[in-house]
Amino acid sequence: MSGAPQVDTSGKLQVDTSGKLQVDVEKRFPGSIPIHGRFESTTAGGAITVLFGPSGCGKTTILRCLAGLERPERGSIRFEGESWCDSERSLFVSPQRRGIGYLSQDYALFPHLTALENIRYGLRRLPREESQRRVVEIIDLLHLGGLEQRYPRQLSGGQQQRVAVARAVVRRPRLLLLDEPLSALDAPTREELRRELRRVLQQCAVPAVVVTHDRIEAIALADQIVVLESGQVRQCGSTEEVFSRPADLAVARILGVDTVVPGKIVEIADGLATISVGQADLVALAPAFPGPEVFVCIRAEEVALERGSTAQSSARNHLVGQIVSLFREGPITRVHLDCGFPLAAIVTHQSSQTLGLREGATVTAVLKAPAIHLIGRG
């Protein structure tokens, strides 16, 4: 039913907007590029939308417009059928009344309050028992036990991030807005918290919009991706869709990875993992995280092609498939294969000629296990 036009009793055509975030905002800062954020995403079932793009592309500005911290010059924001901002009707709902949780890049913990006081900050209007119950629950969910009485500066970066997340989600917001939630952390902590963040978001079942310039973060967290460049939305769709069918070369370049497909780890032995992807099985180095749900990322230049369906080499993966399409880009040819799942490869134009590559031909894609990059999904 969702999204389907309906005729109500007054005879007007109405579109069901429940479970949707509809954004169309324009903002211009003096001396910088104009930003036009226009997209629609699903919020039903706690879906996570990632605003992805290089730094300076306007992601944070769009997020701040969603929070009500920035007033767009023109445009509108509708969340689950409710208007938050509409320049034509001079409507603007303050951040206090949007029922959001907002996490800025540096967490903005209140320095004069302890971790516990920070978490409780937004619960003043709740009855004591209810507030207490929620605080205990969130401290348990984010493993913050024992840190309650510490001041922000006595906490590590990862702990600060968890306190900030706790402070935002403990209010049960209708929409969570996260600005580069992991960028302030060192690499190992980031790795750990990335998986934890998705778990927490899923457990709270609160829809979220996450801003990031980190591809791994985007793939790990997103249900939907909005790709931005120079203040414009280039593409908007599910993670799989965006990566397997980039709208244009610019998007493909921003995404940087050519094949991103969901898979499932079915076996781990001798430090190698067998992953079931579409109709094919892949062998990759066993990941450090438990799995089993993963995204498999493969760069096109790591894929070698051989003619026919037989080949012997040291590579662990030999995938037989058909060529779906070929694109020549100067000296190289980009090849799209169907080998049980969509796979992109790059070969030189000469190789393409030698191998006699054409649409519909059967080839074997050869791929070393270390060339397969796995990103865990909670």
Partner 1 sequence: MDWQAIGLTVRLAASTTAILFLIGVPLAYWLATSRRRWRYIVDALVALPLVLPPTVVGFYLLVATGPRSPFGRLYEQATGALLPFSYEGILLGSVIFNLPFAVRPFAAAFAAVDRRLIEASWCLGESRFITFFRITFRTAWPGVLAGLVLAFAHTVGEFGVVLMLGGNIPGETRTVSIAIYDSVQALKFQEANATALLLLGFSFLVLCITYSLQHRKAFPL
Residues at the interface with partner 1 (CB under 8 A): 67-69, 94-96, 100-102, 104, 106, 108, 110-112, 121-122, 124-125, 151, 153-154, 167-168, 171
Q: Backbone phi, then psi, for 120, in 5-degree steps?
A: -80, -10
Of the pair 166, 261, the CB lying nearest partner 1 is at 166
For residue 50, the minimal CB distance to partner 1 (Å) is 20
Q: How far apart, in whole angstroms, are the C-alpha atoms of residue 195 and residue 302? A: 26
For residue 266, the minimal CB distance to partner 1 (Å) is 43
For residue 334, the minimal CB distance to partner 1 (Å) is 44
Of the pair 183, 274, the CB lying nearest partner 1 is at 183
Of the pair 104, 183, the CB lying nearest partner 1 is at 104
Of the pair 124, 128, the CB lying nearest partner 1 is at 124
For residue 199, the minimal CB distance to partner 1 (Å) is 23
Residue 66 three-state SS: helix
Burial bucket for residue 117 (CB in 10 Å: 0-12, 13-18, 19+): middle
Q: Which residue has the tokens 């070929």?
A: 326
Q: What is the torsional sign of CA 75, 78, 81, 86?
A: negative
For residue 107, the minimal CB distance to partner 1 (Å) is 8
Q: Looking at the DSSP assignment, which residues form a beta bridge with residue 335?
A: 326, 345
Q: Would you say 76 and 86 are in contact if contact means Cβ atoms under 8 Å apart?
A: yes
Of the pair 122, 287, the CB lying nearest partner 1 is at 122
Of the pair 112, 358, the CB lying nearest partner 1 is at 112
Per-residue 3-state assignment (H helix, E strand, C coil) for 241-305:
HHHHCCCCHHHHHHHCCCEEEEEEEEEEECCEEEEEECCEEEEEECCCCCCCEEEEEECHHHCEE
> Cα angle at 284 between 282 and 286, to 5 degrees?
130
For residue 58, the minimal CB distance to partner 1 (Å) is 18
Q: Which residue has the tokens 């457990």?
A: 203
Of the pair 71, 199, the CB lying nearest partner 1 is at 71
For residue 149, the minimal CB distance to partner 1 (Å) is 11
Of the pair 17, 183, the CB lying nearest partner 1 is at 183
Burial bucket for residue 38 (CB in 10 Å: 0-12, 13-18, 19+): middle
Here the tokens at position 5 are: 């036009």
Of the pair 168, 303, the CB lying nearest partner 1 is at 168
User: How many C-beta atoms lie closer than 10 Å to residue 156's C-beta?
Assistant: 12
Q: Would you say 115 and 144 are in contact if contact means Cβ atoms under 8 Å apart?
A: yes
For residue 222, the minimal CB distance to partner 1 (Å) is 22
Q: Tell me, what DSSP letter sits at residue 24? A: E
Q: Backbone phi, then psi, for 272, in 5-degree steps?
A: -115, 145
Here the tokens at position 296 are: 């498999």
For residue 353, the minimal CB distance to partner 1 (Å) is 58
